Amino acid sequence: VKYVYFFGNGKAEGDGSDKNLLGGKGAGLAEMTNLGIPVPPGFTITTEACIAYQKNKTYPEGMWEQTLEALKKLEETTKKKFGSNENPLLVSVRSGARVSMPGMMDTILNLGLNDETVKGLATSSNNERFAYDSYRRFIQMFSNVVLGVEHSKFEKLISEVKKGKGYSLDTDLTAEDWKGLVEKFKALVLNETGKPFPQDVMEQLKLAINAVFDSWDNQRAKTYRKINKIPDDWGTAVNVVAMVFGNMGNDSGTGVAFTRNPSTGEKEFFGEFLINAQGEDVVAGIRTPEPIARLKDEMPGVFAQLEEVYKKLESHYKDMQDIEFTVEKGVLYMLQTRSGKRTARAAVKIAYDMYKEGLIDKKTAVLRVAPEQVDQLLHPMIDPKEKYTSIAKGLPASPGAAVGRVVFTADDAESWAAKGEKVILVRDETSPEDIGGMHAAEGILTATGGMTSHAAVVARGMGKCCIVGCGAIHIDEEEKVFTVGNITVKEGDYITINGSTGEVILGKVKLVEPELSGEFAEILSWADEFRKLGVRTNSDTPHDSKVAREFGAEGIGLCRTEHMFFEGDRIDAVREMILANTEEERRKALAKVKPYQKEDFKGIFKAMDGFPVTIRLLDPPLHEFIPHTDEDIQKVANASGIPFDVLKKKRDELHEFNPMLGHRGCRLGITFPEIYEMQVYAIMEAACEVAKEGVKVYPEIMIPLVGHYKELEMLREMTVRVADEVMKQYGITLKYLVGTMIELPRAALTADEIAQYAEFFSFGTNDLTQTTLGLSRDDSGKFLPFYVEKGIYKEDPFVSLDVNGVGQLVEMGVTKGRKTRPDLKTGICGEHGGDPASIFFCHKVGLNYVSCSPYRVPVARLAAAHAAL
């Protein structure tokens, strides 16, 4: 088996396509060599060798022999000798996995130095200071990486010398100073490890290779892989590269750069360099590097060469590159190239520009922008230039950032906001009654709850910054304070919350507004050319509908009528309806609610002119609409004139042990047909009225929580009857659909029966996940994170669809439904509709559309395109 691949003299045994075998760094070095770009020669030991070594900590057969052969070739190429006392070859030993794992694994520079070879280096370079600087660097790195001696212990010794001599910079140290430090370093190693620093260069090489192999399995690397979902069996390659020296004087140096600006995407060479330094100095932050543009003044020749190389690399890889280079006595060497990490903003700009430059095609441009990433672009965020420290961290439930004064009740949020104050609503958790306050607040912070708690779902729907489950804060609603450790935050104090990271910060931090740039809009329109899935939005108000249209939503996939019940004084009429004891009383109360609903529907239909609007009839259990604590009951009693006792009795009557599986959804429509009837009247009257004004309206009436086809059969009959009556009354015929949500396992299992009465299915995967997994989403916050941490579920199943379980029911629902009704329209309207991985699944099973909150619409458009490409 070939375990070692050589590169040098303009020819490499491997190339850029061998990333899996050579690692990203090795493949890049090989590719650059083949392109005729100056790279110091060297060789790569494959990831396969690493995997084989991991099994029983011995090299696979032939690996060491091949290594020695390559080393010989390296000596011939460089005309230097490893371990020579006259003209020693020094190498770097560098890790490099398939994907870059920044800072996780190790690199050793200047290997091959010992007490003898260092003298050779001093003579051959005619530079004693350089030789001993290199030697001390080597001892420092090798001892740290291979022997486990703490870096800081060496730094301390250096500081002592600097202090004693009154130096401020490392570059002030003389040859003699470094010589003295080398002795101190060796003594330190002997003291720390009980053994002298290894002088045998072959032993050094072997130990270094082992250390790089072993670093694949150090705790840091393991954790990093887990977080970033990198398989454990990829292994790392080892790159042994002839050293070139940036620390040979003021005509030498080292730097890192990006071929375009990684933060803005601007087409400009961007980076930093240090004169008279080796690679690690730039990252270590010991000296402050200079902006790359200065290199043009200091070394114009080198800069011109570097410019040529970076342009060549970018047009070869057709992507923005992150490069590392070293200059030895005015000669440029490239040491690494890889596609550079970038912000969402930069990703968009670079993809757009590269398409316009003819470097990449449209498809590639669309694929270059990650759907998860663009969410960043749609919310205000903390100015990246700001420095801050957080006092607590919760779950990042809804991205963006917000600054405001702390309030502890929804009412306060509304009244403060009405006075023009910006507020952050801080609560243990939120409930539907808090909607108004949430709307008024800049952001929401809760102490409990998970990523799909009420606060999280509603905030995401509103596109409002939100942190939930921030267990470190303790709220005292009475005193109107919250505490974190010994910090107390009072009502009215300013805080800043970062919903993208979950950080809570004291005081005001500067925010920047999102920019929906022309380029972003353009990329999204390209995405639209490729995607097969429709993208709709979940929206309950005319305002959200407008926002969603601006983001490109092609209709509404879920309009939750109950949210309309809470706005303003409507709740009074709704409560009257709930408290009614007879059908007649109920109808009277419903008649008061109807005009409100009708107005809302008209607004939504107008905003969605030309696009379908799916309206779900009343879904939640009725008790959600009445107050629960005695105190709240008293408040409502005072306001409404309904006696306290009556309210309290009704509350007890409506109490359910398991409301999520209780009297809700179509069960309400079956037992109180007049409620659904009123809603259908409101929908159809609104539709007819706007149609008369010239609006193109496509209502889709959706019955929730159906488990048996007979439920739907009954309610469909009612719906059609009312719809016909209204259309006759207005004298127009509208195209409207009646369909259902598939959110109970029984509905999916009997989808063929249900499809007889449904013209569309919308998979309500929030409830379908709850009911399939038998997992309450409101209670799961206490243990689900633990499940995810332990890998039982790879991802919170309420965030990313459980494809293996719930996914089967979705697929079955589609297949069975279409067997009965081939033109059945299918969509998804759970939280999953905005999750890229779930969207991939929806594309695969052939749904017609996904529906998500307005601010996720661009994400969904892009994800749907990625799924199709």
Binding residues vs Mg ion (CB under 5 A): 324, 336, 743, 764, 767
Tokens of 853: 């909150």
State which residue, 220 or 356, has the beta carbon closest to ligand ADP.
220
Nearer to Mg ion, 406 or 829 (CB): 829
- In the complex, minimum distance from the CB of residue 704 to Mg ion, in angstroms, rounded to a whole number: 6
Annotated catalytic residue 454: yes
Exposed/middle/buried for residue 572 (C-beta within 10 Å: 0-12, 13-18, 19+): middle
Which positions from 249 through 288 interact with ligand ADP, judged by CB under 6 A? 254, 278-280
Q: Could you identify the residue written with the tokens 């009420």?
A: 454
Among 243, 365, 397, 862, binds ligand ADP (CB under 6 A): 243
Spatial contact of 615 and 699, defined as CB atoms under 8 Å apart? yes
* Separation CA 271–CA 269 (nearest Å): 7
Report what 40 binds from Mg ion, ligand ADP, none; CB cut-off 5-8 Å by kind.
ligand ADP
Of 44, 46, 78, 92, which lies in the binding site for ligand ADP, with binding defined by CB under 6 A? 92
By beta carbon distance, the residue nearest ligand ADP is 279
Of 664, 671, 555, the C-alpha closest to 611 is 555
Of the candidates 454, 563, 832, 843, the residue annotated as catalytic is 454
**Catalytic residue (choose from 559, 666, 829, 852):** 829
Interface residue with ligand ADP among 111, 121, 241, 458 (CB under 6 A) is 241
Q: 78 vs 107, which CB is nearer to Mg ion?
A: 107
Question: Residue 94: which of Mg ion, ligand ADP, none does it interact with, CB under 5 to 8 A by kind?
Answer: ligand ADP
Residue 243 Cβ, how far from Mg ion at the closest point, in Å? 14
Paired residues of 827 in beta bridges: 762, 849
If the CB atoms of residues 41 and 807 are measured against ligand ADP, the closer one turns out to be 41
Report the site for ligand ADP in 182-221 (rule: CB under 6 A): none
Distance CA 526, CA 549 (A): 17
Per-residue x/- track, 658-687, ligand ADP (CB under 6 A): ------------------------------
CA distance 448 to 758: 39
Contact status, residue 326 vs residue 335, Cβ threshold 8 Å? yes
The smaller minimum CB distance to ligand ADP, of residues 342 and 816, is found at 342
Candidate ranges 242-250, 580-588, 653-661, 834-842; the one touching ligand ADP (CB under 6 A): 242-250
Q: Which is nearer to Mg ion, 25 or 531 (CB)?
A: 25
Longest Cα–Cα distance of the chain, Å, equals 106
Strands (E), 725-793: 737-742, 760-763
Least distance to ligand ADP, CB of residue 345, Å: 25
d(Cα 409, Cα 397) in Å, to the nearest integer? 20
Question: Which C-beta is closer to ligand ADP: that of 243 or that of 754?
Answer: 243
Q: Which is nearer to Mg ion, 619 or 685 (CB)?
A: 619
Q: Give 793's contacts (C-beta < 8 A, 6+ positions apart).
A: 784, 787, 802
- Of these partners, ligand ADP, Mg ion, none, which one is at the site of residue 109 (CB under 5 to 8 Å by kind)? ligand ADP
Which of Mg ion, ligand ADP, none does residue 647 bind (CB under 5 to 8 Å by kind)?
Answer: none
Give the footprint of ligand ADP on residues 293-332 (CB under 6 A): 324, 326
Closest CB to ligand ADP among residues 101, 784: 101
Q: How far is the CB of 64 from ligand ADP (least distance, A)?
A: 21
Q: What is the 3-state secondary structure (H, E, C) of 316-329?
A: HHCCCEEEEEEEEC
Residue 767 interaction partner, one of Mg ion, ligand ADP, none, beta carbon < 5-8 Å per kind: Mg ion
Among 143, 336, 337, 740, binds ligand ADP (CB under 6 A): 336
Member of 19, 94, 549, 716 binding ligand ADP (CB under 6 A): 94
Q: Sheet harboring 503-506: ordered strands across?
A: 392-393, 503-506, 494-498, 401-407, 423-427, 443-446, 465-468, 395-398
Residue 107 Cβ vs ligand ADP, minimum distance, rounded to whole Å: 4
d(CA 142, CA 197): 9
**Strand boundaries in 581-661, DSSP class E:** 612-616
Placement of tokens 């109808």 in the chain: 587
Instruction: Name the binder of 557 from Mg ion, ligand ADP, none, CB < 5-8 A by kind.
Output: none
Residues that bind ligand ADP (rule: CB under 6 A) add up to a total of 17
For this structure, is 563 an active site residue? Answer: no
Exposure letters 265-296 (e unless 16+ CB within 10 A, then b)? bebebbbbbbbbbbbebbeeeeeebbebeebe
Strands (E), 9-67: 11-12, 42-45
Which of 42, 854 has the CB closer to ligand ADP? 42
Residue 300 has a CB neighbour count (10 Å cut-off) of 10
- Smallest gap from Cβ 25 to ligand ADP, in A, equals 6
Q: How far is the CB of 343 from ligand ADP (least distance, A)?
A: 20
Q: Where are the alpha helices (DSSP H) in 113-174?
A: 117-125, 128-145, 151-165
The single residue among 221, 244, 678, 687 that binds ligand ADP, judged by CB under 6 A, is 244
Beta bridge partners of 156: none
Report in angstroms how near the CB of residue 108 gets to ligand ADP at its nearest. Answer: 9
Q: Which of residues 25-44 bind ligand ADP (CB under 6 A)?
A: 40
CB 8 within 8 A of CB 35: no
740's contact among Mg ion, ligand ADP, none, with CB below 5 to 8 A by partner kind, is: none
Stretch that binds ligand ADP, among 75-83, 168-176, 237-245, 570-578 (CB under 6 A): 237-245
3-state secondary structure 415-440: HHHHCCCCEEEEECCCCHHHHHHHHH
| Closest by CA position to 750, among listed 812, 832, 698, 687 | 812
CB 130 within 8 A of CB 247: yes
Instruction: Please choose which of Mg ion, ligand ADP, none residue 254 contacts, taking the beta carbon within 5 to 8 angstroms, the exact cut-off set by kind.
Output: ligand ADP
Q: How far apart are CA 501 and CA 480, in angstroms?
A: 26
- Out of ligand ADP, Mg ion, none, what residue 247 binds, judged by CB under 5 to 8 A for its kind, is none
**107 contributes a contact to ligand ADP by CB under 6 A:** yes
Q: Which is nearer to ligand ADP, 212 or 684 (CB)?
A: 212
Binds 827: which of Mg ion, ligand ADP, none (CB < 5-8 Å by kind): none
* HSE toward the beta carbon, residue 22, CA cutoff 13 A: 25
Residue 764 interacts with, from ligand ADP, Mg ion, none (CB under 5-8 Å by kind): Mg ion
Q: Which does 275 bind (CB under 5 to 8 A by kind): Mg ion, ligand ADP, none?
A: none
From the list 356, 346, 334, the residue with the least C-alpha distance to 270 is 346
In Å, what is the CA distance from 665 to each residue of 351, 670, 767, 768, 769? Answer: 46, 9, 11, 13, 16
Give the shortest CB-94-to-ligand ADP separation in angstroms: 3
Rounded to a whole number of angstroms, the minimum distance from the CB of residue 101 to ligand ADP is 8
If the CB atoms of residues 272 and 811 are measured against ligand ADP, the closer one turns out to be: 272
- Residue 394 C-beta: closest distance to ligand ADP, Å: 33
Which of ligand ADP, Mg ion, none interacts with 677 (beta carbon under 5 to 8 A by kind)?
none
Q: What is the dihedral of CA 614, 620, 622, 627, to 10 degrees?
A: -120
Listed as own residue / partner, the contacts of 279-283 with beta carbons closer than 8 Å and 24 or more positions apart are 279/109, 279/246, 279/254, 279/324, 279/326, 279/335, 280/109, 280/137, 280/141, 281/170, 281/254, 282/254, 282/255, 282/256, 283/256
Q: By the 8 A CB rule, do 853 and 835 touch? A: no
CB of 280 to ligand ADP, least distance (A): 6
Compute the least distance from the CB of residue 26 to Mg ion, in Å.
12
- Return residues touching ligand ADP (CB under 6 A): 40, 92, 94, 107, 109, 241-244, 254, 278-280, 324, 326, 335-336
Residues annotated as catalytic (active site), given as ranges: 454, 829
